[in-house]
Structure 1
């Protein structure tokens, strides 16, 4: 029978994730007796899939080498570099490179089944991330809003949480493949590799971030459904200042 240590070692070597023993034992127990005929590598892949859909506060180790310092968000610390690989999950993502009204209008165009082609607004059959098919069957060219109602260019501001529950802000300094409103789900997992923290914010760059993916459906669906209302609320608060 495959041992928990074998699975934990596989996950650590392939994804740099240190699994909580209780979570792993529960996973193996739920696999039943069929696990006896499943190779450790296959079980590890299934465990990783489940991990990426889990709350890391329950599934990953809280050892201090695997979590953020509790004072990560301290704005009085000018700059410091954290050591090691620290997994986090996404609680919120915001496109700070696009105006609030532009994002609201993009969401409303998606709601109406419209997209932008150059300076034209065209009707679409389906609004996708890279291209839109128009009613006459031709693909649109030029910039277009994706299904999340955003250009996706960013930069992005993320609210991140580690396995110990520490919450911090991450800011995208350089564009990172996989970080945009369309591709990155709420609950998705990122691996921070020796990241720099400045004035309470984690500075995100391609060299310091690995996008592991995943999604927590119970978090992602209400977040997306309420995004337009949150943007409208922000514009109202700004108008009131």
Structure 2
């Protein structure tokens, strides 16, 4: 006889490639009264997925299957090329637009702080001053000609369920991957991804963005982003013309 635990685990594995930790799943079910209230299994599964996407994969996923993990020596630059069959679930620890100057990114943040956004060549006031939507608006509007757009390519720091980290480089634009659109802690799955000299080459064919975020990590990253950019500018001398 199949149990709710096994049904949920099987569904998340087959549809999202997420191998849920039995410990995490048991804790999720015991901490809710869902089973006692006879909530439909489909709704319970969706709630579990939502919680997993907001969790740290190191807590919510199992590490029993090596094929679902990054190689521990993935950073090795002496390995010219290797392929990761996967699927490998990972979470985003950092994202950087390496196609836009550091100064342009600082200016985009400061426009949001002032409650402004770029629409074409015109600066307009935004309603949500200093809010997340305002910064997203500045980035999105910039794609039509304004400065500060997160057009990429992007450099990501990815982490698997075992805690192994890897650098991902957006080789071809991946939908949903952009500063202010992909939160820290967002989840994705890698399939048949190529690794060249220690860097995972990200393309639409090998990346599935699942969404989600880790609230505390995302907030800390946003609050410190301007300071990190300014520190890099002072260290590299960018903008000193």
Q: Same fold (TM over 0.5)?
A: yes
Whole-Å Cα distance in 2 between the matches of residues 141 and 184 of structure 1? 16
Tell me how far 1:186 sits from its aligned partner. 0.4
TM score, norm. by length of structure 2: 0.88
Cα deviation, 1:94-132, whole Å, max 9, x if unaligned, reads 000000001011111111112223333333334364589
Whole-Å Cα distance in 1 between the matches of residues 156 and 34 of structure 2? 41
Give 3-state SS (helix, strand or coil) of 2:78's partner: coil
Q: Note if 1:29 corresponds to 2:27.
A: no
- RMSD between aligned residues: 2.3
Whole-Å Cα distance in 1 between the matches of residues 72 and 173 of structure 2? 27
Tell me how far 1:236 sits from its aligned partner. 0.8
- For structure 1, the 5+ residue unaligned runs are 133-138
Cα deviation, 1:152-204, whole Å, max 9, x if unaligned, reads 21110000000000011000011111111121110000100111100000000
Match of 1:219 among 212, 217, 231: 217
Tell me how far 1:34 sits from its aligned partner. 3.7
Give 3-state SS (helix, strand or coil) of 1:38's partner: coil
Whole-Å Cα distance in 2 between the matches of residues 140 and 75 of structure 1? 35
TM score, norm. by length of structure 1: 0.88
Match of 2:79 among 30, 54, 77: 77
Aligned length: 230
- 1:119 paired residue number: 121
Tell me whether 119-128 or 226-235 shows the greater mean CA deviation.
Answer: 119-128
Matches within 5 A, 1:14-163: 14-32=15-33, 34-35=35-36, 37-62=38-63, 63-126=65-128, 127=134, 129=136, 142-144=144-146, 150-163=148-161
Matches within 5 A, 1:125-204: 125-126=127-128, 127=134, 129=136, 142-144=144-146, 150-204=148-202
Whole-Å Cα distance in 2 between the matches of residues 71 and 102 of structure 1? 35
- 1:210 paired residue number: 208
Tell me how far 1:142 sits from its aligned partner. 3.9
- For structure 2, the 5+ residue unaligned runs are 129-133
Whole-Å Cα distance in 1 between the matches of residues 7 and 124 of structure 2? 54
Tell me how far 1:6 sits from its aligned partner. 1.0
